Amino acid sequence: MDLILVLFGFVLVVLGIVGSVLPVLPGPLTGWFGILLLFLTKTIPMNYYWLGVTFGIALIILILDYIIPGLGAKKFGGSKKGATGATLGLIIGLILPIPLGFVIGAFVGALIGELIHNPKDLKRALKSAFGSFVGFLASTTMKLFVSIIFLAVFCYKVFEFRAGLFSL
């Protein structure tokens, strides 16, 4: 049973990393559930303090994920349509078979969103699109960083208790 929990936990932690880039999954929160499954094994002792701290971090990141792109857009005079365009552009960019398509897609999507919001001012739309893009990148980087740390913690704990987890 422990091995199944470890495998499902690993899948969730990896999905957390994927979810840090894809807006469909809440990255760090998904990764946290993987860590929770690891601590639910009989071999690894439950550490409520560690789980509480990491859960708090995952929740704060989840909340900031909704705030930071908007702050970036506002700082550069952007609109909600620019932030929405950045997210849609990211999704389309992931589908396109071009290198860094999600980055290019996020910027172009933000620009299109800003032009829809205010079609007469290209200079302002470019500035706003840049702000939306910077906010989006900051948020994504933050989620990715935390998710990679969750993966590192997961792997460390599995390595630390490997004798008990993988013995027959």
Domain coordinates of the chain in residue numbers?
2-165
Identify the CA nearest to 126 among candidates 86, 78, 158, 55.
78
The rounded percent of the chain whose pLDDT value lies above 70 is: 96
- Please choose, from the candidates 49, 51, 60, the residue with its C-alpha nearest in 3D space to the C-alpha of residue 9: 51
What local confidence, expressed as pLDDT, does residue 152 receive? Answer: 96
Q: Rounded distance, CA 71 to CA 75, Å? A: 6
pTM: 0.79
Dist CA 39 CA 33 (whole Å) = 10
| Average pLDDT value for the chain | 86
